Structure 1
Amino acid sequence: MADELMRLLWGPHPQPRRGPRPALSLDGIARAGIGIADSEGLAALSMQRVAELLGKTKMSLYRYVPGKAELVALMVETAITAPPEPSAGDWRSRLTDWSQALFQVFARHPWLLDATVGPRLMGPKETAWTERALTALDGKDLTGSERLDAVVLLSSHVRGIAQHSRASGAKGAEAQLIAALDSVLREHGDDYPSLRTAMTSAAEGRDQALTFGVERILDGLEALIARRVAQRPRG
């Protein structure tokens, strides 16, 4: 199955060896699956559902995709799209833009948060996201391992904020929770003065967690880079 998945994601894509002329495409199959996952979540996805949506039998679908795991991998590669082109700014602005763009991908397709965990083979587009972020750190006195760790740290922060956004059920449920907490703090705020102060301040600048976290991560990287530069032998 690993070899088959490699071919599906990276090519070449041979046509089915048996039966009539192909009536489906990998892209069409992936987009049908994406439609189901976008509207109902990844748990609702099945080969049967995709086949029905395409007006085909489940057995005919297996001529193109060997199973659900491979279908999900194709969906990820299709949904994630290509990474944004690097901006003309410095490495910080490029990584900031990268993080914002990745968050938007998760916002458009929340099921990607479930489909992109654990050891797995990535496709060309998803791999290009890592490449684009690593390129922003070229020549910055960081080892290859440190650059990879920096990308993992940024993507983990983005994923965490996206997970929170999904779990809150968009703005309605989160607003209700905040209102309930405000009510609790009005009555018991003297027992939690720091939380009350923080919540009062947060009410004036909510939805900034993504940017705040990215900036703090980049601040740490900048400090490390500056320290490495200062430690260079002179002469």
Structure 2
Amino acid sequence: MTTKKRKLLANNDVEENYTPAEKRGKHFSAKWFRDNLFNGNEIKALRNFLEACKNEEEGDVVGEYFAAGGDAMEIIKLLDRKTDKNDLLFTVPLLSVLNQIIASEMRSGEEFHRSTEAACRQLLYSHLNTVHFMLSAEGSSQSRRIILTLLAAIVTANPQLAKEVLAHVNFPTSDLKRLTTLVKPQDKNNTRTCFIRFIMAFLIGGDVHVIKLLTDKKGFDIPVISRLVHCDSDGSDHVATKAGLTSSFLFY
């Protein structure tokens, strides 16, 4: 999809040459997906979207969704309408879809859609209680992994959004201990690993102001960071090392 087309789609314009999925021999239909988002089948539609994203034969699922007139704000507005915003059966797939949209845009290397940036802010400003619930003991291990992965994507995508994540998302001591404790070392996508990726997302951009805000964040002190250092059976350091991550904190 060209930059010009993506910019048009960012303004909610439907691509003129959009062809329905059924005419292209594909299982995912952006039209079916959008129709079902608003007729009581939201969870089924969201899961269908995620399954399609896993299937390489489906191609650019996010691009097709945009071409059919959808955008990230349409997804986050589902949460606006939800009475029980802490219903994990609903919020986990919904925020997973939002993460897929952000990841797709980052892979494209093109300008971040205004609607996607707005959706991220809507999450941080209007649904912060849901974010904190998913991170807390009341959430599930899956919800913690999903929200950490989404927050890491938001931080990576936009330095200003990274600052807003630090300003709004809080990590009480009890939550930090839970997030930094290695429970399932055999699981390469365990909660602790997702938390490390979240922290690393602030560092890889190299924005001094963002890193300074991170070091000033309540609870993110050296003892917490040191708990992220884990040695494998062969003695090699995992992901975060004292020479890498901790020194980054000390020098800014």
Same fold, judged at TM 0.5 (above)? no
TM, length-normalised to structure 1? 0.31
Rg larger for: 1
Q: TM-score under structure 2 normalisation?
A: 0.30
